[in-house]
Structure 1
Amino acid sequence: MTHDPAQSLLIAPPPPPRNLLVVRLTALGDIVQSLQIIQSVARQWPGCRITWVVRDTFAPLVEAAPFVHHVIAYRRKAGWRGLLETIRQIRRERFDMVWDMHGLIRPAFMTLAARSPQKWGRKSSKGLRGLSYNRFVPTPAGPPPHHAMTVHQQFLSTAGLDTTIDIPLPLKPISLTGQLDDDWKPFFNNDSKRDSSPLFVMFTDSSAANKMWNGYEALTRLIWVNYPDSRVVWCGLKPLPPPPPRCAAGPLP
């Protein structure tokens, strides 16, 4: 019997799960937006225990979210060994529901391996990826491309939840000192002179040319208008554009 993805869109919203697995491995911006979605989930399903699978590079960010109860760090650089290690960790628990908010082959494989009666994925997932899910989250209305936040909000609406995004996103303090080159440590270290000085960090990289944004300089100047004593850092793995005066710029460690 073949599975018709359209039929899954007509199913009534499920009861609140007690144990939710979120699969979102990368990238930084999408993880931040997914965190905002899951923050809304935690507010509306307060009794739900949330586990998150994420690439080890981004694990400290997800661990800083007070509403995420457990983080499984996927060691991508370990190859198949890292993937199998992650799958073993996933299968140690039973989940009421899995949300694959990523939609690529590795996250789909992790979703397929999870012990859960409900495995949700994006309707845009095709081929072998689509076989991992038994419920599909619809794509947003209107012509593509769609903003990642709009795509992720479809998980909320499919679950029968309010799609309002809570702002701000509260995070526990994250220590960066051990991950920085020596040249950057003095800039990020808190001392008596800088404790009250706001720090803004902008990640200027993008995975695709059509996602590049040319508004970093204007945003930086706007920050200085509103926060004259602030510090601004532009970070990226790719060559950075010349920053405006007073703005530190450099590659990520």
Structure 2
Amino acid sequence: MTEMSRRGALGAIGGGALLLGGCDRIAATDTARAAFLGAEGLTYRVQRLVTPRDALAPEFTGADLSPVFRANGTFMPRAPDYQALLADQFAGYRLAVGGLVARPLAIPLDQLKSLPQRTQITRHDCVEGWSAIGQWTGPALGPILRHAGLSQAARYIVFHCFDDLGGTAYYESIDLVDAFHPQTILAWALNGRPLPVANGAPVRLRVERQLGYKHAKYVRAIEAVADLRAIGRGKGGYWEDVSDYAWYAGL
């Protein structure tokens, strides 16, 4: 099956579920929500069955870069600890890696930058309907999880963030297939420069085979968990919990 036909088949099976995930007006009743969640689960299982685990999202060239990489969501986290880190140019930043790991980590930004790096030019597709192409640089997530000694009981990786939406710190999660995908990186640079604050400084997730709201900005900590029931309201992400967005937002 070609990439185009595969995506078309997945769209026919699950495209409606993704659209519903971004529109809580449609999923306004318990019956509609139940139908949506069932369709979302089917989409997830089918995509995992037909897509090779290491299949890459399309990559582009420098000539394809968007003149401006649009930012959305939070533009400036208000958390006092974030503001203190920003004032010191993130010299005191430590990325916590914990949960179901044998060796919890606290990784300084300079150390993240000294790890083997991946640079990729990819398209960011937002559920709001816009796209932009940017160049991202950062270490792959998978080797960091291996170094922390990820437990066999872990099934999901949760990202806890500095930004605050409606009194709740942003959070997102992905499964281990996406966590160990070669294009899943902890990006600290956009278009060859340190991330602007509006785009998620000092570190944001890039999980290139999913829609933009899965690409958590302002990452504070990474937590390995066995299930998602204790995360937020149990659906695995902020927008999934408050607006019934699809947890699996694969492209």
| Larger proportion of strand | 2
Structure ranking higher on relative contact order (CA contacts 8 Å, 6+ apart): 2
TM-score calculated relative to the size of structure 1: 0.20
Q: Give the greater-gyration-radius structure (CA).
A: 1
